[in-house]
């Protein structure tokens, strides 16, 4: 097949999760609800951390950055999907598709790296508690976040430039609800060997290295916790990692589930459905995991909404009535 000229490509068609018209209102309502919950929940985490001076620590600094990334992550894909369903139009421009690929990869990479940075923070807090404030100083924390953004941006830029070199033919239908890079590579009618190698090598590097760092950190944490004599001390040390560990497991298990489902079924629509867990459900659940399992976040949220002051006020008034 003769490769076409990629400059003639002006649009792609996003087929979405289902082509059945009667399911579109249900899908629209479901995804709109999940998107609003994701934005509102993560925004609450950011506001709680920024408004409470007790939470101005490295752990919550990284958490607020993770919440911001999750908002951006879902905002890269879901609004366009909702717009297409509402307008009953599946079109996304070529430029819009490349832009979506670029920002999607940035925020996936940031999620991955920030989880590894947070694991390192917990490792220092538990294994080297006396040196924690010295090691995790504001300068290092800011530098870690800055390096995470730079690495993710460069990695995403590489993929975007690799996609720009591809030529596309007549079949421009993407069986997904967003422009996923593997789907774009499959649509190309030019040589995609180099793109495929970059995808697999980059995924292994950006996914494998942070995962290895997380596993190493938690192996040291577990070893350190086992050395604590009291059961109360062990519980307290583990509770500081519980929320982060839950998010890590959710992030990697959903990502692995997407990969295994797509490899097993070889169906693009099945892969798109499975990726909902990775791209929508995980960012939506993160605020609940941190708010439900973290007393500091609960307290900060109560202060944010004035609930803590309200509950204490009757007690103060009662004291005033005493002779």
Domain ranges of the chain: 8-293
Rounded distance between C-alpha atoms, residue 315 and residue 93, angstroms: 61
pLDDT at residue 261, rounded to an integer? 59
**b/e map 278-300, b = 16+ CB within 10 Å:** bbbebbbbbbebbbebbebbbbb
pLDDT at residue 218, rounded to an integer? 93
pLDDT at residue 267, rounded to an integer? 56
Rounded distance between C-alpha atoms, residue 153 and residue 38, angstroms: 23
Contacts by residues 259-265 (CB-CB < 8 Å, ≥ 24 positions apart): none
Please state the φ and ψ torsions of residue 227, each to the nearest 5 degrees: -80, -10
pLDDT at residue 262, rounded to an integer? 59
Would you say 163 and 154 are in contact if contact means Cβ atoms under 8 Å apart?
no
For residue 79, the cross-strand partners are none
Local mean pLDDT, 10-residue blocks, the chain (323 residues): 52 86 91 96 93 91 95 95 91 93 94 95 92 94 96 94 87 86 88 89 86 93 86 80 87 73 58 80 89 80 71 40 38
Q: What's the CATH class of domain 8-293?
A: mainly alpha
How much is the pTM? 0.87
Strand intervals (E) in the chain: 11-14, 91-93, 173-174
pLDDT at residue 321, rounded to an integer? 39
Residues 6 or more apart whose CB falls under 8 angstroms from that of 214 comprise 115, 116, 119, 248
Would you say 156 and 109 are in contact if contact means Cβ atoms under 8 Å apart?
yes
Would you say 303 and 52 are in contact if contact means Cβ atoms under 8 Å apart?
yes
Task: Give the dihedral sign, CA 216/153/147/201.
Answer: positive
């Amino acid at each position: 097949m003769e490769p076409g000229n990629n400059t003639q490509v002006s649009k792609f068609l996003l087929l979405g999760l289902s082509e059945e018209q009667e399911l579109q209102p249900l899908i629209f309502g479901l995804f709109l609800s999940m998107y609003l919950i994701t934005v509102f929940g993560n925004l609450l985490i950011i506001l709680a951390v920024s408004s409470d001076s007790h939470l101005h620590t490295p752990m919550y600094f990284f958490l607020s950055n993770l919440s911001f990334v999750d908002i951006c992550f879902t905002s890269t894909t879901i609004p366009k999907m909702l717009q297409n369903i509402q307008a009953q139009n599946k079109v996304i421009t070529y430029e819009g598709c490349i832009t979506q690929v670029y920002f999607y990869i940035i925020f996936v990479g940031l999620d991955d790296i920030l989880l590894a940075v947070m694991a390192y923070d917990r490792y220092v807090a538990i294994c080297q508690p006396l040196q924690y404030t010295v090691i995790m100083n504001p300068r290092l924390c800011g530098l870690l976040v800055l390096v995470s953004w730079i690495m993710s941006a460069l990695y995403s830029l590489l993929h975007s430039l690799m996609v720009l070199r591809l030529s596309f033919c007549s079949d421009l239908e993407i069986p997904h609800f967003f422009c996923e890079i593997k789907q774009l590579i499959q649509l190309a009618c030019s040589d995609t060997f180099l793109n495929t190698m970059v995808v697999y090598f980059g995924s292994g590097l950006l996914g494998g290295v942070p995962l290895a760092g997380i596993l190493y950190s938690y192996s040291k944490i577990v070893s350190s916790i086992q050395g604590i004599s009291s059961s109360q001390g062990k519980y307290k040390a583990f509770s500081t990692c519980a929320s982060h560990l839950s998010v890590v497991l959710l992030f990697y298990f959903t990502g692995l589930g997407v990969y295994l489902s797509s490899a097993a079924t070889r169906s693009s629509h099945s892969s798109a459905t499975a990726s909902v867990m990775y791209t929508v459900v995980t960012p939506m659940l993160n605020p609940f995991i941190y708010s439900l399992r973290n007393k500091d976040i609960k307290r900060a949220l109560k202060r944010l909404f004035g609930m803590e002051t309200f509950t204490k006020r009757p007690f103060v008034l009662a004291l005033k009535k005493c002779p």
